[in-house]
């Protein structure tokens, strides 16, 4: 194998094993979202019945990110890469209890070049009293 082709092959295999920031072939790959806190962290069911705005704070959010309430994906408003908002009501919360909140970011157009893209955050619990 000529040296130039060998070096290109070595560079490609090295890049595809790297994270997205170092891999120029990852293009529009999106990072997995990270969830940090909920505001409010608890609500009453009466507030849910009236409709209550939930703000999720974290990092690596994009406009396509969705807030998952008890594993049901809801369209969110992206205020920034660190804040998402969604209105909670009885369509998604049927009564008092602990409610699972996650953030889902769909994958970007990364192709199959060793790039990770999108994903689901860890879970935080919203207390509904």
pLDDT in tens, 6-45: 444 444 433 434 344 445 556 666 788 999 999 999 999 9
Nearest Cα to Cα of residue 31 among 119, 125, 112: 119
Q: Which residue is it, tokens 């879970």?
A: 123
Rounded distance between C-alpha atoms, residue 97 and residue 19, angstroms: 39
Q: Give residue for tokens 């920031």.
A: 21
Neighbours of 81 (CB within 10 A): 15
pLDDT at res. 57: 98
Which of residues 119 and 11 earns the better pLDDT score? 119
pLDDT computed for residue 117 by the predictor: 72
Q: Is the pLDDT of residue 124 over 80?
A: yes
Q: How sure is the predictor about 113, in pLDDT bands with cuts at 50, 70 and 90? A: low
Domains and CATH numbers, the chain: 26-128 (2.60.40.10)
Which residues on adjacent β-strands are paired with residue 58?
35
| More confident position, 105 or 28 | 105
* pTM for this model (two decimals): 0.74
Provide the percentage of residues in the chain whose pLDDT is more than 90: 64
Q: Which of 33, 40, 20, 87 is nearest to 61 (CA)?
A: 33
Under the banding of pLDDT at 50, 70 and 90, the label for residue 2 is: low
Phi/psi of residue 60, each to 5°? Answer: 65, 35
Arithmetic mean of pLDDT, 40-64: 96
């Amino acid at each position: 194998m000529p040296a130039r082709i060998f070096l290109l092959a070595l560079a490609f295999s090295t890049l595809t094993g790297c994270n997205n920031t170092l891999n120029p072939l990852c293009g529009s790959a999106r990072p997995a979202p990270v969830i940090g806190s909920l505001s409010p962290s608890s609500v009453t069911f009466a507030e849910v019945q009236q409709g209550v705005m939930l703000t999720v704070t974290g990092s690596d959010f994009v406009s396509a990110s969705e807030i998952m309430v008890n594993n049901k994906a809801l369209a969110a408003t992206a205020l920034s890469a660190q804040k998402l908002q969604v209105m909670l009501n009885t369509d998604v919360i049927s009564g008092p209890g602990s409610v699972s909140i996650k953030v889902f970011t769909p994958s970007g157009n990364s192709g199959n070049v060793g790039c990770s893209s999108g994903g689901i955050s860890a879970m935080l619990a919203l207390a509904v009293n």
